[in-house]
Chain A
Amino acid sequence: MALVRTPVAAEALRTPRRRTTFIQRESTLAYLYMIPGWSILLLFMAYPFFLGIYLSMTDRMLGWPGANFIGLENYRILWNDSVFQQTVRNTAIYGIGTVPFKLLLGLALALLLNRPFRLSRAVRAGLLLPWIVPTALSSLAWLMLFNGVLSPISWVLKDLGVIDQNINFLGSAWNARISLCIANIWRGIPFFAITILAGLQAVPNELHEAAALDGASKVQRFFSVTLPVIRSIILIATLFSIIWTISDFQLVYVLTKGGPANTTHVFGTYAYQIGMGATDLGQAAAISLYMFPALALGAILLLRYVRRED
Chain B
Amino acid sequence: MNIVGENRLWSRIWQFYVPLALFAVFLLFPFYWMLVVSLKPNTDLFETDLNPFLLYSVTLDHYRYLFEETDFWTWTKNTMVVTVGATILSLACSILIGYALGRYRFRGGTFLGAAVFLAYLVPPTLLFIPLAEVISRFQLYNRYWALILTYPTFLIPFASWLLMGYFRTISRELEDAALVDGASRIQAMWQIVMPLALPGLLSAGIFCFTLGWNEFLYALVFMGSGEMKTIPVGTVSDLIRADVYFWGSLMAAGILGSVPVAVAYSFFVDHYVAGLTAGATKG
Contact = CB atoms under 8 A, between A and B. Distances in A.
Interface of A: 8, 18, 24, 26-27, 29-31, 33-34, 36-38, 40-41, 43-45, 47-49, 51-52, 55, 60, 105, 108-109, 112-113, 115, 117, 121, 123-130, 132-138, 140-145, 147, 149-150, 152, 155, 186, 189-191, 194-195, 197-199, 233, 236-237, 240, 243-244, 246-250, 253-254, 267-268, 271-272, 275-276, 281, 284-285, 288-289, 291-292, 295, 298-299, 302-303, 306-307, 309-310
A108 B160 CA distance: 31
Contact of B129 (A52, A253, A299): A52
Contacts of B152: 37, 40-41, 44
Contact of B107 (A27, A136, A150, A271): A27
Contact of A299 (B31, B109, B121, B262): B121
A49 B53 contact: no
Contacts of A105: 23
Interface stretch (B2-10, B61-69, B245-253): B245-253
Contact of A132 (B160, B210, B245): B210
B283 interface: yes
Chain A interface, >50% SS class: helix
Nearest to A274: B129
Contact of A51 (B45, B122, B134, B280): B134
A260 to B, nearest CB: 14
Given A48-B133, A134-B216, A289-B126, 9 more contacts: A37-B94, A51-B133, A60-B133, A123-B24, A128-B272, A132-B210, A132-B265, A136-B232, A247-B124
Contact of B262 (A38, A132, A244): A132
A144 B37 contact: yes
Contact of B157 (A29, A41, A291): A41
Interface of B: 16, 19-20, 23-24, 26-28, 30-31, 33-34, 37, 45-46, 48, 51-53, 89, 92-94, 96-97, 99-101, 104-107, 109, 112, 114, 117-119, 121-134, 149-150, 152-153, 156-157, 160, 179-180, 184-186, 210, 213-214, 216-217, 221, 231-233, 235-236, 245, 247, 250-251, 253-254, 257-258, 261-262, 265-266, 269, 272-273, 276-277, 280-283
A38 to B, nearest CB: 8
A134 B26 CA distance: 18
6 contacts: A33-B97, A41-B152, A49-B127, A141-B33, A253-B236, A288-B126
B118 to A, nearest CB: 6
Contacts of A271: 125, 128-129
Say what secondary structure dominates the interface of chain B: helix
Contacts, number: 295
B130 A303 contact: no
